[in-house]
Structure 1
Amino acid sequence: MDVKSFSYQLVIVVLTLSACGHSDQRTDGLADSDAIPVRVIQLATRDTTQVVSATGTFTTDDETALSFKNGGVIQQIHVKEGDAFRKGQLLASLEPTEINTAVKQAQLGLEKAERDYQRARQLFLDSVATQEQMENAQTVFEAAKQDVQRVAYNLNHTRIYAAFDGYVLQRPASTGQVVGPGTPVLVVSGTGHNGWLLKVGVSDRQWSAIQLNDSATVTTDAASDKRFQATVYRKSEGIDPRSGTFTVFLKLKGIPAVASGMFGKAEIRLSTKIGAWFIPYEALLDGDAGTGYVFVTDDGQTARRVHVQVGGIQKDHVMVSGGLEDATSLIVSGSPYLRDGSKITIK
């Protein structure tokens, strides 16, 4: 073997040994860092009042859509949107020609039926007509009386009068328009003397948890420096098909300076207390739509990933309403580096 070949072999051996040494160092380094340092706290539940946040619009309990009983041509609408009105004031009327004709026809029919009945009765007394003929004529006469009462009733409903003091919210119809029975002509509201309501939409889970007379706090941007107290006044018994939510009405105490349709926010305090865990923000991972994940440890050496239900985000912590029943220690730092089953060391 010449000197040149020996030198090449020596270089190869040195490089191989050097690589093995570095590999051992990397392996040792990885072994030392397998356990991820974390910080933990002990878990304990405490009874708390759950708060449901919701938004909606202000309204009154006497907000009403006004319409005519029978269809026809609108003769005149005497108020506009935003106008105030007094109880008994004429608000709208139908063109009366058609109904007046029906009234006249009914009266003529009544007169004829009465004549026929009187004639049949006299013939019966003279033994010319049978009792059945006389009774049939009497039935027609009585039916004609009812027909007159019906058209007279309809005539009285060709005009809409205000049933209370209030103002016009909407005017969906116009003078000269042809409307059918029950078609809204005006949407009106009272002046709030009977109290204001905040109409909010909630989920089905929230709807089932909210009870009548639960207390609430209401705010609005129109009076940002004020907080109004309210109670749960009424709950809908069906879903609103337009919004896909259930409706809850909150009755405000006092008469705040608000207007119908104004936007408001509410925090409803549920009367039923629940057991919950209060954890730091940094412990919650992947929070979305009331759910999330946290890491817990049962033995102080291994991390376990747990799915939890988030009951609310509060000022300095997260309220967890479910998922931690079997856990005792919560990992509050180092969670982003963990996987289910990761080795940990407690700082």
Structure 2
Amino acid sequence: MKVFHLLISFSLAVALWSCGSKASTDEKNTATAPEEAVVPIKLSPVSTVVRAEPVVASGLVSSAQEARLSFKIGGIINRMFVEEGQSVRKGQLLATLDLTEINAQVSQAQLANEKAERDLGRVKSLYADTAATLEQLQNATTGTNVAKQNLTIAQFNQSYAQVRATVDGTVTRKLVNAGEFIAPGTSAYLISSNRPNDWVVRVGVSDKDWARLRLGNRASITLDAYPDRTFTGTVSELAQAADPTNKLYEVEVRINPNGVKFAPGLFAKVTLVPAQSRSYTLVPVEAIVEGNGKEGFVYLLADDKKHVRKVPIQVGFLDGDKVLLTNNLVGIKDVVTGGSAYLTEESLVIVK
């Protein structure tokens, strides 16, 4: 009897162990079975707007009427009468050259002119007595005329051996000093007009932006000197050729100081608003992924409603929390915003 009970107990233990092992194996298989992740996403509507894309550039404030003053001829600078920052009046004497050499040239021209006139007088007398030929008389006449012109040139150079202010303004740069040799045409002073509303900002723009601008286009200007204020302006001049150095076209913007004190050289950031408008696709900024400059991507819900597809876009400019795209998303009503950072085109998605 004892043997029989032992056999029954052993059989029950084996049966229970087998069931436990099977359950454990099933749980392990269940735990290791892969589950495909589903990414929750949010869709935001796409709209179309018509805007004039602004042109942003930077430059320096300056007077609309500036003068780079120089001597007409070269020489040794004798005196400089004004310094940087001084106000000057139109016609005021600013600097002179040493006239020793210049006066000598005038005297030399005067003596040559006097000699030519004397020679002409003698030839005329000889010609009247038939002692000189017509050719000699013509040559003497020509020599006299040449001597007069040389005297005129010397006297003209003598009168321009000085620099005078051409406008009422302020000396912004003094480029040379007394005692230095200066070549003809080399700037000695830079003067800016001091009229209260005579201020401009000159900026360089690309050829594509230049083509969209017109005289009279509006502009807004911010200055580092006045960070809390925005000034208004208009395009007053458009260059007709690019700068050979930087290949940009210069645009002159006349700025309204509105009672604020300006000075040449203030740094300005200019936002120009062209009159030419175009259509843009408007999407939330969080829809843009893998942005790189003007290029990026957005995700769209695929036709099967379970996946997404990645579409390239071209960024025009930012407008607050919106992005204006230059390539229209034709026929697209929504873009993925929430969850876009975790997506690939193989991801399973669900719209929340």
Shorter-chain TM-score bucket reads 0.7 to 0.9
Pick from 139, 142, 156 the counterpart of residue 142 of structure 2: 139
Q: Residue 277 of structure 2 aligns with which residue?
A: 273
Q: Residue 307 of structure 1 aligns with which residue?
A: 312
Q: Residue 149 of structure 1 aligns with which residue?
A: 152
| Correspondence list, 1:206-285, <5 A | 206-240=209-243, 245-253=248-256, 256-285=260-289
The size of the alignment, in residue pairs, is: 331
Give the C-alpha shift of residue 292 in structure 1: 2.6
5+ residue gaps, structure 1: 1-9
Give the alignment's TM-score, normalised by structure 1: 0.85
Change (3 A) 1:291 1:204: farther
2:334 is the counterpart of 1:329: yes
Q: Residues 49 and 274 of structure 1 are in contact (CA less than 8 Å); yes or no, is this contact kept in structure 2?
A: yes
Q: Residue 44 of structure 1 aligns with which residue?
A: 47
Report the more deviating stretch, 334-343 or 226-235: 334-343
2:180 is the counterpart of 1:177: yes
**What SS class does the counterpart of residue 275 from structure 2 fall into?**
strand
5+ residue gaps, structure 2: 1-17
2:327 is the counterpart of 1:319: no
Give the C-alpha shift of residue 302 in structure 1: 4.6
Change (3 A) 1:124 1:306: farther
Change (3 A) 1:89 1:112: same
| Correspondence list, 1:81-96, <5 A | 81-96=84-99
Amino acid at match of 2:291: G
Give the alignment's TM-score, normalised by structure 2: 0.84
Give the C-alpha shift of residue 229 in structure 1: 1.4
Q: Residues 298 and 327 of structure 1 are in contact (CA less than 8 Å); yes or no, is this contact kept in structure 2?
A: no
- RMSD over aligned CA atoms reads 2.8
Report the more deviating stretch, 137-146 or 217-226: 217-226
Amino acid at match of 1:314: D
Report the more deviating stretch, 52-61 or 149-158: 52-61
Change (3 A) 1:25 1:166: same
Q: Residue 74 of structure 1 aligns with which residue?
A: 77
**What SS class does the counterpart of residue 47 from structure 2 fall into?**
coil
Pick from 153, 167, 170 the counterpart of residue 167 of structure 1: 170
Give the C-alpha shift of residue 301 in structure 1: 4.8
Give the C-alpha shift of residue 57 in structure 1: 1.3
Q: Residue 8 of structure 2 aligns with which residue?
A: none
Q: Residue 5 of structure 2 aligns with which residue?
A: none
Q: Residues 45 and 283 of structure 2 are in contact (CA less than 8 Å); yes or no, is this contact kept in structure 1?
A: no
Change (3 A) 1:243 1:340: farther
Q: Residue 6 of structure 1 aligns with which residue?
A: none
Q: Residues 306 and 324 of structure 1 are in contact (CA less than 8 Å); yes or no, is this contact kept in structure 2?
A: no
Q: Residue 294 of structure 1 aligns with which residue?
A: 298
Write the distance in 1 (CA, Å) between the matches of 2:123 and 2:348: 107
Give the C-alpha shift of residue 211 in structure 1: 2.0
Write the distance in 1 (CA, Å) between the matches of 2:42 and 2:177: 70
Write the distance in 2 (CA, Å) between the matches of 1:86 and 1:152: 25
